[in-house]
Structure 1
């Protein structure tokens, strides 16, 4: 028999057994972490965390001989001595070097030791806030000992009265075992092997004892992003891995905090807004990240995963979203979760579709243990097909501003109709650039859904044309001004629309 550990449980398998024998249902496209027997030791890094009254930042100091001052030592004054828009200085403290008496050039984030009046008994730990040239009383070459690698927003906020409260060297775990990730389920088992098949994440604000809804929207984004049970490592670095497969999402900052090993965050600013990050090492708090959860199992898989690989992931709690369900299905599912339901109608529950739920987030529903649903007859919900392969960017914009990117049912405000064209006006900001994509060539097909692109004044307008046309697209624009993004299945339901109506749409797969 061969003894191995699978997700923390000791199991036995027959001689010659392989991964498939102990994981018969594992998706072969998802990576496993394999740790062979060895020795794990603690290793000091060249990264230091500086905790201040304004937050923390992390510096990298390449030379092992460099020693930072100790805030607990009487000889070091950890208060901010001076600060301007170019630099901030803590001290003084005694140091041993020869001032060069020459100006040097510094980049943003440089960490140096300088002195006042060329007296090294009054030396300072100086952080460069902005690219500049100055004489800081430093040693020849500028006295640069390191650089800030995380938490630059903290150094910008430092002001009179702030101080360094703690300086600590960061620790990592050096694993001398032979560790790999693999998707090869025919890999033979070895005595003492450890296998991690998935990562488990606990959402912040959720526990068996209490539920905190202060970050309910951020947590709902986490649960939505990982609803498929798969985490795609689109990018990996020494400190984190990132899943950005959903593309840009508008997310509010709800909870700042230190990003410790195993912390899960969602980015709230920049082109990666909405991406889910999992941390391999401790890094400083960021104003661009909301902390939304913590890895409770499988951190080894997070550490080992390589860029382009994917792994299985589960989140606690399970997302609660009834939109798009038939009412009878929604009521049954809610009952399983211990949630009572109030609906706007109990008429023909198997034919009514849920179009809104209140509260809208998982944590709020679980805390209140009740939900109110708005429904409509299935015959009034319009099914559509979207062309991800042909117009991925425009389809993503359409989903974002109709609600289909996050929910099973979306909304489109009806504008007006003429001849065989129906026009809709989603609220797409002017800053959104809709580039030409999948424009018609010889004919705009019947029942096609189109969006006017940025080459025309009416960019963002959505239209449906129920017959084919060799001159104009679904928004009545020339072919070069129209992106074909999908097809409407239930075009017969358009006839009863009035100006100002909102239609509810549901995406179906071909």
Structure 2
């Protein structure tokens, strides 16, 4: 049995849950898992991709031309390359070996693109072949066979520059596409019984493109609860429409290969995120933000209504809302320097980052973090079930859609009423229809937002005392949608008109 590609021995009658527990597989309650039934009909010629497990992590190779001599040698005997170590490295390439091959070395320049894979023979000696990985577009005489590169790296690309002489290839496995199997099953029932030979897939891992820092943040916002929700499926892709209507910058123009993750940046469907199931050409309105590094089988099996658990590489740098010391400890492990700005004391909460994206922070190895006194950082509960559209507007306006902490400047305070106006004018392109409007009275510390029936839509208000006559914004009941409540009333009452409230959304687990 295989669990996320790893071999595992389980007793008869084992369930999905026991397999997850035994393998310590990445999984989140509520996720849909894929079960691929064993098939004896798969031929090596039908395999397009291979997992190459190394001491540093996993690479994923895609065969370029199945008919080339080099590709056929690889497909016929790929396991002979298990155990070979890194032999040499340069700015243009790295090579694992040596080993003997029946291929004929040629005394010619070989043209290689970045991430190409080819055989190379040192000294043109068939007993001194190596597996060569190209780090840059270049041409050189490597004693390669006439057909040149036979594969390309499509996953784990960042590993290529991290290998050392002590590293080696541990195991190589073909990636069997789900179409080759007679049966597959997708379920969220972890009591499902597994059979001998089944392949279980519990998550996907997305390698985010360095060329798409803003796209990566958009994706983090999409999966902040851990799931890619399949709202639509076709033979070509699956999509999550949760952020439809949100704007994402176009950053990365490239062909959308099987497993490419991309976002629509203009036109109808802006904000939808897709994962390819086949080859698609590049598009000026679809920005590629990453590629499936692991779990492509689950992408091909999943259908509408399924929830796919997602991990990313890199993981998001989530230090907003943290104190400086906690953040410094977290960033130290990533090799990132933190520079304090604003309120710099140890009791500060981080409310802003520069650069703001995970990828840019990792590339710069430095981030300027702006702190605010803890008294200005106030936890709230939002009523997603009672007022989903109004809460969506609020999150968008204050910046909670893509960040764990939002910004809400105080506009006015009079008597027991506090009014706020978000800096982002979301009402220009988002509606606030009446939803969860007041009926009997305003409760102290509940958060209201004026709807389209009010003179000024999008004003946020909170009262510190119950009120039988007016809503939290001072408007009549029918003009006010109730979207949540303040969880730290004493902090809230200390706000002044000069302050900015930093909104920290609490999850259900914290509230309960």
Q: TM-score range by the shorter chain?
A: 0.5 to 0.7
Cα offsets for 1:402-431 (capped at 9, x unmatched) = 012221221112211222111111132433
Q: Distance in 2 between matches of 1:190 and 1:257?
A: 40
Q: Distance in 1 between matches of 2:430 and 2:30?
A: 35
Q: Distance in 2 between matches of 1:482 and 1:238?
A: 45
Aligned pairs for 1:216-235 (under 5 A) are 216-235=213-232
Q: Distance in 1 between matches of 2:248 and 2:30?
A: 30
Q: Give secondary structure in 2 for the equivalent of 1:459.
A: coil
Structure 2 contact 361–367 (Cα < 8 Å) conserved: yes
Q: Distance in 1 between matches of 2:485 and 2:226?
A: 29
Aligned to 2:266: 269
Task: Please give the root-mean-square deviation of Cα atoms over the aligned residues, in Å.
Answer: 2.5
Aligned pairs for 1:428-439 (under 5 A) are 428=425, 429-439=427-437
Q: Give secondary structure in 2 for the equivalent of 1:13.
A: coil
Q: Distance in 1 between matches of 2:309 and 2:262?
A: 18
Cα offsets for 1:41-89 (capped at 9, x unmatched) = 789xxxxxxxxxxxxxxxxxxxxxxxxxxxxxxxxxxxxxxxxxxxxxx
Of 419, 424, 443 in structure 2, the residue corresponding to residue 423 of structure 1 is 419
Confirm or deny that 1:385 pairs with 2:381. Answer: yes
Q: Distance in 2 between matches of 1:425 and 1:17?
A: 56
Confirm or deny that 1:198 pairs with 2:203. Answer: yes
Structure 1 contact 382–506 (Cα < 8 Å) conserved: yes
Q: Distance in 2 between matches of 1:380 and 1:363?
A: 28
Structure 2 contact 178–301 (Cα < 8 Å) conserved: no
Aligned to 1:309: 306
Work out the number of aligned pairs and report it. Answer: 370
Q: 1:191 to 1:485 in 2, by over 3 A?
A: closer
Aligned to 2:338: 341
Which residues of structure 2 form unaligned runs of 5+? 47-176
Q: 1:267 to 1:446 in 2, by over 3 A?
A: same
Q: 1:508 to 1:10 in 2, by over 3 A?
A: closer
Q: 1:34 to 1:489 in 2, by over 3 A?
A: closer
Q: 1:283 to 1:372 in 2, by over 3 A?
A: same
Displacement after TM superposition at 1:376 (Å):
1.7
Q: Give secondary structure in 2 for the equivalent of 1:23.
A: helix
Cα offsets for 1:122-176 (capped at 9, x unmatched) = xxxxxxxxxxxxxxxxxxxxxxxxxxxxxxxxxxxxxxxxxxxxxxxxxx98425
Q: Distance in 2 between matches of 1:271 and 1:387?
A: 29
Displacement after TM superposition at 1:320 (Å):
1.1
Q: Give secondary structure in 1 for the equivalent of 2:9.
A: strand
Q: Distance in 2 between matches of 1:346 and 1:412?
A: 18
Structure 2 contact 471–477 (Cα < 8 Å) conserved: yes
TM-score of the superposition, structure 2-length normalised? 0.67
Aligned to 2:463: 465
- Structure 1 moving runs of 4+ over 6 Å: none
Q: 1:258 to 1:421 in 2, by over 3 A?
A: same
Structure 1 contact 226–315 (Cα < 8 Å) conserved: no
Structure 2 contact 376–500 (Cα < 8 Å) conserved: no
Aligned to 1:30: 31
Of 367, 389, 393 in structure 2, the residue corresponding to residue 371 of structure 1 is 367
Q: 1:508 to 1:223 in 2, by over 3 A?
A: closer
Q: Distance in 2 between matches of 1:417 and 1:424?
A: 9
Aligned to 2:186: 181
Structure 1 contact 40–174 (Cα < 8 Å) conserved: no
Displacement after TM superposition at 1:494 (Å):
5.0
Q: Give secondary structure in 2 for the equivalent of 1:405.
A: coil
Q: Distance in 2 between matches of 1:281 and 1:310?
A: 21
Q: 1:345 to 1:186 in 2, by over 3 A?
A: same
Aligned to 1:403: 399
Which is richer in helix?
2
Structure 1 contact 472–478 (Cα < 8 Å) conserved: yes
Cα offsets for 1:219-258 (capped at 9, x unmatched) = 2222332244322212222211112335542211122332
Of 221, 237, 240 in structure 1, the residue corresponding to residue 237 of structure 2 is 240
Of 281, 286, 298 in structure 1, the residue corresponding to residue 278 of structure 2 is 281
TM-score of the superposition, structure 1-length normalised? 0.67
Which is richer in strand?
1
Q: Which protein is bigger by CA-based radius of gyration?
A: 1
Structure 1 contact 33–196 (Cα < 8 Å) conserved: yes
Q: Distance in 2 between matches of 1:423 and 1:175?
A: 61
Q: Distance in 2 between matches of 1:390 and 1:292?
A: 33
Cα offsets for 1:10-47 (capped at 9, x unmatched) = 2322344333332126445322222222224789xxxx
Q: Give secondary structure in 1 for the equivalent of 2:428.
A: coil
